[in-house]
Amino acid sequence: MVAAMEFEEKHRRMIEVIEEEVAYTSHAIGKSKLDARVMEAMRQVPRHEFVPAASQMLAYSNGPLSIGHGQTISQPYIVALMTDLLEPQAEDTILEIGTGSGYQSAILACLVKQVHTTENVSPLIAPARERLQRLGYNNVEVHECDGYFGLPELAPFDGIIVTAASPHVPEPLLEQLKPGGRLVIPVGHEFYAQELLVIQKQENGQFTERKVLDVVFVPLTGSGHHLAAEDIN
């Protein structure tokens, strides 16, 4: 009971810190508040369930945490911001690249009809599936594959969100986006010079791009990532 009360208080404080961070970065992100639906999802999802047991008391701190295998669970502010930038709607089908522990998947599951999420780091896949099912996020399907190439067999998607940095925007993801849809992705070198981009596909098939913030993400894994890295070297 004490632990549950502690988590509740830490969770409440996390929401306050996200709101403070949004206000502080409002000049860059173009708004002083995030969508109320997004913030409600951030309130609903128990972040401590998505981190290793040893890190649970840090689960609601406003920073990334290791989940093993060289991967992380993103900073809560960044999760909230990327979700808001995606502009998810209730009837949407969303593609997420980089399941990790499943936290971003769970946030999206509160907001849309269906989430398809891909993971290339094999040891993370079964735990993420079990966790999402146990917590009742039944509208999330975890796919083991190289996310750089998306899921062409299930495309097109209303929105795509990428939770690892790619050296450039993967062409397959642009192709799998519906007209009017958005791709939210960190782009840049490994661990430095990364920018969070919002790319929108117009009805005529053309794309608009907006740079939002400088960010730091772990690199996208898989053969597609390496091909992308070679392309810019």
Residue in 32, 61, 66, 74 annotated catalytic: 74
Alpha helices by DSSP H, listed for 72-163, are 76-86, 103-109, 122-134
The pLDDT of residue 26 is: 97
Number of Cβ atoms within 10 Å of the Cβ of 18: 22
CB 57, CB 3: distance < 8 Å: no
Q: Give the three-state DSSP class for 4.
A: helix
Domain that holds residue 193: 2-232
Please report, for residues 20, 77, 166, 213, the alpha-carbon distance to residue 25 in angstroms, rounded to integers and kept in the order given: 9, 11, 24, 9
Looking at the structure of the chain, the number of domains it has is 1
CATH of the domain at 228: 3.40.50.150
CB 41, CB 52: distance < 8 Å: no
Which of 146, 68, 163, 26 is closest to 108 using CA atoms?
Answer: 163
Residue 74 designated active-site: yes
Q: Give the three-state DSSP class for 31.
A: coil
CB 215, CB 189: distance < 8 Å: no
The pLDDT of residue 96 is: 98
CA–chain centroid gap for 216, Å, is 13
The pLDDT of residue 232 is: 41
The pLDDT of residue 224 is: 62
The pLDDT of residue 225 is: 54
The whole-number mean pLDDT for each consecutive block of 10 residues of the chain, a chain of 233 residues, reads 79 98 96 97 97 94 95 97 98 97 98 97 97 98 96 98 94 97 92 89 95 92 59 42
